[in-house]
Amino acid sequence: MVNSIYRKALFDIPDSLIYLDGNSLGPLPKNVSARVAEVISAQWGTHLIRGWNDCQWMQQPGSVGDRVGRLIGAPPGSVVLGDTLSIKVYQALSSALKMRPERRTILSEKGNFPTDLYMAQGLINTLDADYSLLLVESSEIEAAIDESVAAVLLTQVDYRSGQLLDMQKITALTHRAGAVSIWDLAHSAGALPVDVEQSQCEFAVGCTYKYLNGGPGAPAFIYVRPDLITLTEPALAGWLGHDAPFAFEPDYRPANSIGRMRVGTPPVLQVGALDAALDVWEDVDISAVREVSIELCELFIREVEARCSQLRLASPRNASDRGSQVSFSFEHGYAVVQALIDHGVVGDFRAPDIMRFGFTPLYINEADVVLAVDKLELILRNDIWRQAKYQVVKSVT
């Protein structure tokens, strides 16, 4: 099974680097450079303004969005690309509140990725009404979903611990309480099987620069449940979400399609990069990815616990409760991660003490995992992380 999805040859990864941070920024698929060069020279340079027609730039947020949709169980025409995940959260949340005008609570989790919470706070501040953002521990989510809740905004896989929430079950509870369900799939898309359609959630959003390898700043995506698309009221009523953008009508009239979730001009170079990156996924069975990911995560946990007793597992021990990453906590985690990077193993650090490692079976295999733990063990056993250079805090960690 490993051999059927391992395809490191499709990526440009520096020799001898073990990259366990594809959950933060995926590596470069080999076909991206040529594709973007083509978009620049053969498209922009040659067609200029006509590229919007001749090269399908205008349609790509939908057509490439459908390619992402296939990886999350979304039917064609229900996903569109654009902007950033933060913007897509705002669109989903503002639409959701409009769907439940009599309710005033947004429910989320304390450990949700901050931008989701910040965007909710910014929306509430903008609305200047008596909305509140209720934050609970992950263990309290189910009990907190009641009929005061307008929308439940959750990230399926926790960015720190990797905890995997039960999307199907929580969405059903959300609906039972009459609330709207919004899922952030940032750490899910390309990492594990997701079926947004089956879950019946109203909205799903995500980014494409992690497991989908779309490159730094790749566009985000938004899914709207097909039966609700024409009922959503876009807060960000940009011209490319208009039913007839080039009629230049004075009044906003949203498209009768997922296109209404578009805002402004799409980032054509980034969309081209993502489109190329998605070629890697063409014949990949996401269930097989999940199966191997679990094997790699289990192996990593076993090896670390056997050899690095200073570290404490900060992820769920049960594989079915975990995404495609494993975190360990350690007081000096920041320095250890810096030392690991220096030794050719890239993971990342999340404050206050989380060392996070992503396992992406497309280019990581069992030998990589064992070698990564060899280096981790060395760094800990020899106190290499205590060297001054590993204590220097960088702006982006």
Mention every residue, 6+ apart, whose C-beta is less than 8 A from residue 75. Answer: 69, 197, 226
In terms of CB distance, is 151 or 173 closer to a copy of itself?
151
- Our finding on whether 248 is near a copy of itself (CB under 8 A) is yes
Residue 286 DSSP code: H
Please report, as residue ranges, which positions from 109 to 168 form the binding site for a copy of itself (by CB under 8 A). Answer: 110, 113-115, 117-119, 121-123, 125-129, 135
Question: Is the N-terminal amide bond of 245 cis, ω within 30° of 0?
Answer: no
Residues with Cβ within 8 Å of 369's Cβ and at least 6 positions away in sequence, in order, are 296, 299, 300, 303, 359
| Structure-block tokens of residue 126 | 């903008």
**Among 21, 66, 184, 275, the one annotated catalytic:** 184
Instruction: In whole angstroms, give the CA distance from residue 71 to residue 4.
Output: 18
Among 237, 284, 308, 378, interactor with a copy of itself by CB under 8 A: 237
Instruction: Name the minimum Å distance from CB 101 to a copy of itself.
Output: 8
Based on the residue annotation, tell me whether 54 is a catalytic residue of this protein.
no
Q: Quick one: 28 or 371, whose CB is closer to a copy of itself?
A: 28
Q: Name the token pair of 341.
A: 């990077």
CA angle 208, 172, 117 (to 5 degrees): 45
For the chain, count helices (H), then strands (E).
14, 15
Q: Is 238 in the site for a copy of itself (CB under 8 A)?
A: yes
184 catalytic residue (yes or no): yes
Give min distance, CB of 318 to a copy of itself, in A. 25
Vertex 167 angle, CA 161 and 168, to 5°: 150
- Answer yes or no whether residue 294 interacts with a copy of itself by CB under 8 A: no
Q: Name the minimum Å distance from CB 274 to a copy of itself.
A: 10
User: Which residues are CB-contacts of 118 (< 8 A; sequence separation ≥ 6)?
Assistant: 86
The smaller minimum CB distance to a copy of itself, of residues 61 and 286, is found at: 61
CB 213 within 8 A of CB 358: no
Stretch that binds a copy of itself, among 161-169, 301-309, 343-351, 367-375 (CB under 8 A): 343-351
Q: CA-CA distance, 190 to 202, in Å (whole number)?
A: 20
Alpha-carbon distance of 224 to 232, in angstroms, equals 9
To the nearest whole angstrom, how small is the minimum distance from the Cβ of residue 70 to a copy of itself? 23
Among 351, 367, 388, 389, binds a copy of itself (CB under 8 A): 351
* Residue 209 a catalytic site member: yes
Closer by beta carbon to a copy of itself, 18 or else 149: 18
Q: Which stretch binds a copy of itself (CB under 8 A): 43-51, 168-176, 291-299, 313-321?
A: 43-51
Please, which of residues 51-110 interact with a copy of itself by CB under 8 A? 51-53, 57-59, 83-87, 90, 94, 98, 110
The DSSP symbol for 43 reads I
- Residue 186 and residue 209: Cα distance in Å, rounded? 9
* Interacting span for a copy of itself (CB under 8 A) from 8-16, 193-201, 320-328, 366-374: 8-16
Catalytic residues: 113, 184, 209-210, 356
